[in-house]
Amino acid sequence: MSATPDRKARLTPGDIRARKGAEPIVCLTAYTTPMAALVDRSCDIALVGDSVGMVLHGLPSTLGVTMEMMILHAQAVARGLEHACLVVDMPFGSYEEGPAQAFRNAARIMAETGAQAVKLEGGTHIADTVRFLVARGIPVMGHVGLTPQSVNTLGGYKVQGRGADAERVAADARAVAEAGAFSVVLEKLPAALGARITQEIAVPTIGIGAGVDCDGQVLVIDDILGLFTEFRPKFVKRYAELGQTAAEVIASYAADVRSRSFPAPEHVFATETKA
């Protein structure tokens, strides 16, 4: 596949599943229509992550994200996509109660946004819910390892799967894959464990801080663009420093306004036009 995918082909969860062991899957988050259109040019999956709560709404974690927020942003992203597969995170509290609750909320997300799949965090304890959704026509992307919605029980945003804990994470990945997930996100794991899980399960793994041997990679778009000047997680490569550039542009604008050099004559309208 070229850097700019075939614009006529809309990727599906089935297409993503078929990429196991093939060309790496490219995934980025998107939360708005303009950013979705940019992501769509080069990515296979556009993920409307519940990270939107922290990235765009200033929340301290993803726990305060609501169904309404996810649906609003997913609708915006859907308008910007032609090629990428649209996956939407189910927010905290929208599926943990059980399969029936999960189905109601997942069905609402898909019906109101046009999403092609939903993403759920969790492992063995969520496998029955994954199986229930898939059996009823809702494709599911799994997410194991560091699961941000469980940050309070995990004790923070720590690397998972070290030492004896590797077996727990591997079992979680196997459980959701066997339950029917078409892919599984592996977050913040030792690279060797990411490689092991990728070999062990039959569906693609998509890493975020889980090593280069995963079947694909996902990052938060604002992180790779450098829109946050202070937040620099180890697993993120900063491809630009747009936050600093934006700050300089805003400062220049403010200086122009205060000095009355903006608006200049070329930016204003004359009283009359020449014949």
Q: What is the pLDDT of residues 123-136, one digit of tens each?
A: 999 999 999 999 99
Decide: helix, strand or coil at residue 90. coil
Residue 191 sits at φ, ψ, to 5 deg, of: -55, -40
Q: Is 2 annotated as a binding residue?
A: no
Q: Over the Cα atoms of the chain, what is R_g?
A: 21
- The answer to the question of residue 167 being in a domain is yes
How confident is the model at residue 144, as a pLDDT? 98
Catalytic-residue membership of 187: yes
**How many residues make up the chain in this entry?**
275
SS3 183: strand
Domain extent, residue 79, equals: 13-241
Q: Is 264 contained in some domain?
A: no
234 is in an annotated binding site: no
Q: Which of 137, 141, 133, 142 shows the shortest CA–CA distance to 86?
A: 141
Does 107 fall in a domain?
yes
Does 51 show up as a binding residue in the annotation?
Answer: yes
Instruction: Return the bridge partners of 117, or none.
Output: 87
Query: Is 266 annotated as contributing to ligand binding?
Result: no
| 263-275 residue pLDDT tens | 999 999 988 766 5
Of 1-5, 8-12, 196-200, 245-249, the poorest mean pLDDT is in 1-5
Look at the chain and report how many structural domains it folds into.
1
pLDDT at 229 over 80: no
Average pLDDT of the segment spanning 133-145: 98
- Is residue 40 part of an annotated ligand binding site? no
Question: Is there a domain that residue 246 lies in?
Answer: no
255 domain-assigned:
no
Digit-coded pLDDT (tens) for 69-84: 999 999 999 999 999 9
Residue 268 lies in a domain: no
Q: Which amino acid is at 241?
A: E
Q: Look at residue 6 and tell me if it is in a domain.
A: no
* CATH assignment at residue 127: 3.20.20.60
Residue at 251 is within a domain: no
Question: Which H or E run contains 141?
Answer: strand 140-145
State the catalytic residue, choosing from 68, 97, 167, 187.
187
Q: Please compute, for residue 126, the number of CA atoms within 13 A of its CA located in the half-sphere on the CB side.
A: 31
Put simply, whether the predicted model's pTM sits higher than 0.85 gets the answer: yes
